Amino acid sequence: MSRLLAWFDWLPPSLASTLLLCAAALFALLFSRLITEALPRLPGLRRIAFIHETIARLQNHVRLLLMIVAASAALPATTGFTPKTIQFLAHFFVFASIITIGFGLIKAFRFGTDKYLDRIANRAQVDDITVRSHQTQIRILRRLIEITCGVITVGAALMVFESVRQYGVSLFASAGAASLVVGLSARPALSNLIAGIQIAITQPIRMEDMLILNGDWAYVEEINATYVVLRTWDRRRYIVPIAYFLENPFQNWTHSSPSLIGSVFLWLDYQTPMDEVRRLFHEELKACENWDHDMNSVGCQVADSNAQVISIRLIAGASDANGMWNLCCDLRERMLKRLREDLPQSLPRGRTAIVPGAADEPAWPDSLVSPPVNRPMSGSQYNGPDIRPAR
């Protein structure tokens, strides 16, 4: 460092010291670029995609850390700074190193978890439930770990400076009523964080689970540390506190299996031949693309009746919620078409019965006939007294 400093003897001491720190950082940058560019070209690492991706993700953090380390190593060789400036620069380099390492670890952890999720999702023998289970656990725990690591990193970096450290110590030492107010105000956030940990472990909901919320079909699109984003079929979004799913009952249609059973109701006439309806139902069901071919979930039964029609319930299974909805719509259309073509007498109709009375029985009883009403007549039809007023 002294030889390097000798190059700048013709400059003022403060400027020479500044250029010395910049030169040390520049040399570290060139050295780090040489390492990050030459390392992937080694014979044993050329075909390992993970090494290339890791270097590409973390090269900026590595280069910045090496520059900070080189500048801090050159700091004792400077002669143009006052002791107070040297102390400030030393604290600043430690502060920058802690920030760089902390957020570099967060980025490396996020990269590793993303690669793990991609690897799980690309396995052919892993079912959808297992994939979504891993996604839910890793996404929630990753956010909690990132928040914790970020808070620790920023706190440790700020504690490097004496003024901030004393302020933090005095703030925590004062406690009293202020700590009680802060604790009460932070209770909802803390409850949601704890609820997030419980959901990651127990998993009442997972990524892409289908829920029923306020009568809407909604998919779990995102699970954050304090809230959950639900996507409805018409692309609306529900933002729900994560503690809601531990305190309120809700429907999860894909909790243990994505397969569902759909039901279609048809209201038909009493003259409907059920054997023919069942035959048509099985014929049309085989033509439905979304049917899962599970005969244990197939049924055609008279579910209800009233004074006019009977209600027939048709049930069949599908692989998922979207398939179940499409299966119900397709099956309903097919059955209505076949009923119109093959069994038109089964369509619902209204009936009216006309019952004639006996020959000697009047059409209406005398008790129901109203007495005649005397109404004034006009012209020659009127034979009564003249009640016109005199002029």
CA distance 201 to 192: 14
34 vs 280, residue with greater confidence: 280
40 vs 257, residue with greater confidence: 257
Residue 302 has pLDDT above 60, yes or no: yes
Give the lowest-confidence range in 119-128, 191-200, 294-303: 119-128
Which pLDDT tens digit goes with each residue over 3-49?
Answer: 555 555 555 666 767 777 787 788 888 887 777 666 656 665 555 56
Instruction: Kindly indicate the confidence band of residue 330, based on its pLDDT and cuts at 50, 70 and 90.
Output: very high
The mean pLDDT of 364-388, rounded to a whole number, is: 51
pLDDT at 21: 77
pLDDT at 227: 86
Instruction: Kindly indicate the confidence band of residue 89, based on its pLDDT and cuts at 50, 70 and 90.
Output: confident
